[in-house]
Amino acid sequence: MNKRIRWILYAAIVVLYVLHNDFWFWYDPRVVLGLPIGLTYHVGYNLAAAVLMFLLVRFAWPSHLEVDEKTSPDSAAGGER
């Protein structure tokens, strides 16, 4: 895994965290796509957060958390849950 990509994704988390509070749209009466602009902003924000979560899972997920079913301790005992 390229560490540069991982750090870019971590920086994107911080950017999304800062952009979450859209204080610049609190008193804006405009309507966009039939919704108040603040709500439209949060729709876009949620889409960006979903894409970021996908990218984090794809590129920054720790490989040691993935346990193969054949090598897990529970499979050796023969028990099923």
The whole-number pLDDT of residue 21 equals 86
What is the tens place of the pLDDT at every residue in 50-71?
999 999 988 888 777 777 767 6
Three-state secondary-structure class, residue 69: helix
Tell me the mean pLDDT in the region 1-17: 89
What does the pLDDT read at residue 74?
A: 60
| Structure tokens given for 7 | 């750090």
Amino acid at the residue 29:
P
Distance of alpha carbon 66 from alpha carbon 2, whole angstroms: 19
Q: Count CB neighbours of 71 within 10 A.
A: 8
Please give the pLDDT value at position 59.
86
- Round to whole Å and give the CA distance between 81 and 76: 13
pLDDT in tens, 21-42: 888 888 999 999 999 999 999 9
pTM across the whole model: 0.71
